[in-house]
Amino acid sequence: MAKKRVLCCYGIDIDAVSGWLGSYGGEDSPADISRGLFAGHVGIPRMLKMLDKYNIKGTWFIPGHSLETFPEECAVIRDKGHEIGLHGYSHENPGAMSLEQQQDVLDKCIQLITDFTGKPPTGSAAPWWETSTEGIQMLLDRGIEYDHSMFHHDCQPYWCRTGDTWTKIDYTKKAETWMKPLVKGTDTKLVEIPANWYIDDLPPMMFMKNNPDGYGWANPRDIEDIWRDHFDYFYREYDEFIFPITCHPDVSGRPHALLMHERLIEHINKHEGVEWVTMDEVNKDFRAKSKSV
């Protein structure tokens, strides 16, 4: 049996109040804003305690709004040696913003993290994993080394591609005008650490009003089964792979989710070749082993 090498990592998005402002439809609800305050003041410390228990350093993607709203909690993240990456300012949808707005948000957030940590961030996760056509180049122009927002793979990092084009269906025109394949763009020097909605705590376990997917009462043991099956399949099929987990203090700061994480970590740790790393460590490992574009 070949020797296994598995890089597991936690990507923790502190959506908190910013999530309700930018994505979840709670910007006019004091009660929803209160839920965001729970995430910052209660969820973050609980998740830090859980990671400390297993000696795991995570990557915390922190919106600028969260960094400025919860400076004491974020300082603990920084001082414990976790990585801090970009996640917008108010969890905005890049696709709904002008180029100038995207640039302004990106520049402000890079500066906030640089001032807070003493070094510029190397990674970014787009809010709600929604990206714009200009986003990749903007990251590259500012020295960002990796992204965690795309879905071309689920357990292998890769060079992020830009410039794909596709033809949308227009039923008012002849079929021959839209029967065309996707045209692939070109690879960049931005490393993609793939995102995965199926290994994300928020969609199944966070209640959102007026949202078709806002159920929120999924049994964590069902989610745990899905995540464990992903890991077990990857471990069976690949000698080397990455396992990026995405979670949020809004959800994973709750008791039922914290116990799920503990069970999953203990299952993963029974396997040989497992390492818990930050996403920047995945980025640097991939760059060291891969031929640059």
pLDDT digits (tens, 9 = 90+) for 169-215: 999 999 999 999 999 999 999 999 999 999 999 999 999 998 877 78
Domains of the chain (ranges, CATH numbers): 5-290 (3.20.20.370)
Report pTM.
0.96
Query: For position 51, what pLDDT does the model report?
Result: 98
Q: How far apart are CA 102 and CA 7, in angstroms?
A: 32
Query: For position 125, what pLDDT does the model report?
Result: 98
Query: For position 133, what pLDDT does the model report?
Result: 85
Specify the 3-state DSSP secondary structure of 38.
helix
Query: For position 144, what pLDDT does the model report?
Result: 98
Query: For position 2, what pLDDT does the model report?
Result: 79
Cβ contact 73:22 at 8 Å: no
Rounded percentage of the chain residues whose pLDDT exceeds 70: 99
Query: For position 1, what pLDDT does the model report?
Result: 65
Is beta strand 83-86 parallel, antiparallel or unpaired with respect to 146-147? unpaired
Cβ contact 161:194 at 8 Å: no
Q: How far apart are CA 251 and CA 142, in angstroms?
A: 32
Among 168-172, 214-218, 258-262, the least confident range = 214-218
Confidence category of residue 97, pLDDT binned at 50, 70, 90: very high
Q: Looking at the predicted structure, is the pLDDT value of residue 157 above 60?
A: yes
Confidence category of residue 292, pLDDT binned at 50, 70, 90: low
Packing angle of the helix pair 44-53, 71-79 (nearest 10 deg): 10
Specify the 3-state DSSP secondary structure of 146.
strand
Cβ contact 24:211 at 8 Å: yes
Chain-centroid distance of CA 13 in Å reads 6
Confidence category of residue 87, pLDDT binned at 50, 70, 90: very high
Burial of 119 (0-12, 13-18, 19+ CB in 10 A): exposed
